[in-house]
Structure 1
Amino acid sequence: MNMDDMYLLLSHIKGIGYKTIQKIDDYFTDIQNFDIVSDEEIYKIPNISLKIKKNIVNYRSSTYLHEIKENLKKHEMNYVTINNSNYPKRLKHIYDPPHILYFKGNKNLLNEFCIAMIGSRKPTNYGVFCANKISKELSALGINIISGMAVGIDYYSHLGCLNGGSKTIAVLGSSIDMPYPKQNIHLMNNIIESEGIILSEYPPGTEARPGYFPMRNRIISGISDGVLIVEASEKSGSLITMNYALDHGKNVFAIPGNINSFMSKGSNKIIKEGAKLVSSVDDILEEYDIVYNNVKKESEYQIDLSKDESKIVTILKNNGSLHVDFICEHTKLNIKDILGILNILEIKGIVTELGNKIYSIK
């Protein structure tokens, strides 16, 4: 068996993860000869449980390897190992890279420039807007987006990228044949059909578990060229990805949020601690010396407005976020008309409610 086969085989043996594979790799000088090593030698491997050693002895065969490959064909799934030239180069150099990645889609994306976008699974309207806007504008510039295909910010980051015309990479906390959450299966199919890629370090038949998501986050950070936190609470799981990014030497960006919003406490905190504040895609591009020409950002498109709509837009531009009562004071219009106009402006994509009847220009 070659080394790729050995990593594939080991990853399918119950109880073995990337840490155990690393222990085996460290113990033997040449893992590609692992299939001809004696059972006695396997039982000598240190720091591995007896149960796992028995599983290795029982399943270490070319017959089982053939069954594994047939099952991958059945699921139309491919794989790449750390020994392969197609393995993501940036990921290979982190502290704890997975020895094998299973995937569906365009493997060439794994070594292209990309920005990770992550955030809350229960975002505010503001967070949804920011994820969509920034992702779509980066995508329109040819920048691929990587995220975790969870509900919330992940979902809208992938969606914005697809709408912008570039490719998106999704890293799962389960196997590809058992995607989590199930409601995002349609998104997963769209990613593949749009020449994106779905990734997982877990073999077919692996259900999502809470502990798998932090491990998934190291892959998101490892493959990316930088990590953007769109919206996160003070104890958000997104901050785990940020810590990985710092360990990996990646740029960390964050979008500021409403100081009264619980969902922005994490984002605002990491900006104070040194993450780069992002108010537009320009803040990201300048870190990589990327210059774009003749590409309009969404805010640059002209939209026809009525006299009262223009008045409210001007007031919000001049004053920032305002409660509806203050908008009434500035415009001298009654609150019923104001709410109707604000609703129209939200539909037109110009204004967003930040919560508690506080409005801002998108």
Structure 2
Amino acid sequence: MGELLVAMNLAYNTTIKARARYELAQQGPGHSLPAPCEAVRLWHALACTWLLQSNKRFWVGIHCHDYPQSLLALKDPPLVLFGEGRRELLSARGVAIVGSRNATRTGLGHAHGFGKAFAKAHWVVVSGLAEGIDGAAHTGALEATGATIAVLGCGPDEVYPPHHAGLKQQIVAQGGLVLSEYPPGTAPQAGFFPRRNRIIAGLADGLLVVEAAMRSGSLITARVASELGRTVGAIPGSIHSSQSKGCHDMIKKGAMLIETAQELLDEVQASLPVFKITAMLQEDDNDCHTTMNCSMDTDMELDEELSRVLQCLGHEPAHSDTLAQQLGLDTETILAALTELELLGLVLGESGNRWVRSNGVF
């Protein structure tokens, strides 16, 4: 029986209970297993076909020499992983960025900015390729020509959401890695994504939550990371924003309040595993000292009307009608001013015709 079939039989044979599979895995590669069931043989055939289609594709089982050591601390580590991209990233130092799928423009800016800063400092950015914060974090890392790992909640040949197919291809093309514990041919299912989150937490040496509601899946990732002894940080937001309440709750319970990328990296660096320190890339962390808050060009000259609108606007969303009433301007005039300020990069439009000052990371 081929090595891949043995590994997949251990991971996916439904005639063996999950707990029994992990107990067998702990016994080492020489254990005896029941014959592969029909489902395992089908998945094995699909996996072999998928692997042969590109020399960038690979698999790694829990008994392989380059299986990520950081995942072994999980209560239920993935028994098999399928990857496409740079295999050596499995053991690279990394920071996870997670957050809401329904992110605000401000949150997307933070995720993009921090992803870019971490990548410039030669840290791998780990996330889940999901809508919102995940996608922005991957994109920021790619713009910095850095490495990023996308952990999927489906087979390695699938994409969710579908419109992130281009982003997935770009990650592989630019030297990143796409990873899944599910065999090729596995469609995304709701229950797969919470399990995917434990791999994100396990691979990364630190974790940053950008935006999260109180019942967000990102809080599951943060809890797993904390249980593993990883550094966990969160970005605070408006006290009126439901997308910030999860982050605020984390901070109250001991997570780091993060304002700059360097704050998190300094803490993560101090507790980095020895095997990652020895394999560390040459550092250049100078780009990480930029504060991810509002930064406005003070030399920019604005006319009196634009200045009045900008001064009336804060970092909490305000409706254009409210601004018009406060300034004594008609709706058409206020919208024209806000549009001009947005083109100058000083304000951002939120959903529902609400506006905030720019966070300075675009």
- TM-score, normalized by length of structure 2? 0.80
Give the SS at the match of 1:134: helix
**In 1, are the aligned partners of 2:120 and 2:287 still within 8 Å (CA)?**
no
Corresponding residue for 2:84? 104
Give the aligned length: 339
Distance in 2 (CA, whole Å) between partners of 1:313 and 1:293 is 35
Structure 1 stretch displaced more, 144-153 or 190-199: 144-153
Deviation string for 1:323-361 (max 9, x for gaps)? 468877998877654543332333343323466735224
Separation of aligned partners in 1, 2:295 and 2:237: 22
Matches within 5 A, 1:1-362: 6-11=6-11, 13=13, 19-25=19-25, 29=27, 31-32=29-30, 34=32, 42=34, 56=35, 67=45, 70-76=48-54, 77-288=57-268, 292-293=285-286, 297=290, 305-308=300-303, 311=307, 315=311, 321=316, 323=318, 336-353=332-349, 357-362=354-359
Structure 2 CA distance for partners of 1:266 and 1:13, relative to 1, 3 Å: same
Structure 2 runs not aligned, ≥5 long? 270-282
Q: Which residues of structure 1 form unaligned runs of 5+? A: 36-41, 43-55
Change (3 A) 1:286 1:68: same
Instruction: Please say if residues 28 and 63 of structure 2, whose CA atoms lie closer than 8 Å, have aligned partners that are also in contact.
Output: no
Letter in 2 for 1:234: M
Q: Could you give the per-residue CA deviations for residues 163-212 of structure 1, whole angstroms, max 9, x where no partner exists?
A: 12211100001111122222111110000000000000111111111111
> Relative contact order: is structure 1 or structure 2 higher (C-alpha 8 Å, sep ≥ 6)?
2
Q: CA deviation at 1:158?
A: 0.7
Deviation of the 1:157 alpha carbon = 0.9
Deviations 1:36-55 (A, max 9, x none): xxxxxx5xxxxxxxxxxxxx
Give the secondary-structure state (helix, strand or coil) at the position aligned to 2:102. Answer: coil
User: Is contact 1:351–1:359 with CA below 8 Å preserved after alignment?
Assistant: yes
CA pair 335-107 structure 1, distance change in 2 beyond 3 A: same
Aligned partner letter, 1:176: P
Write the letter of the residue equivalent to 2:286: N
Aligned residues of 1:254 and 1:277 also touching (Cα < 8 A): yes
Q: Does structure 2 retain, via aligned residues, the 8 Å contact 1:221–1:244?
A: yes
Cα RMSD (Å): 3.5
- Taking a change above 3 Å as real, the CA distance of residues 350 and 100 of structure 1, as seen in their structure-2 partners, is same
- Give the deviation of 1:274 after TM superposition: 1.4
Worse overlay, 162-171 or 284-293: 284-293
Query: Following TM superposition, by how much is the alpha carbon of 1:85 offset from its aligned partner in structure 2, in angstroms?
Result: 2.6
Is this contact kept in 2: 1:103–1:176, CA < 8 A?
Answer: yes
Q: C-alpha deviations, 1:72-110, integer Å up to 9, x for none?
A: 434433101222232222112222211211000001112
**Aligned-partner residue type, residue 251 of structure 2:** I
Query: What's the % identity of the aligned pairs?
Result: 32
Paired position in structure 1 for 2:278: none
Alignment partners' CA distance in 2, 1:30 and 1:200? 22
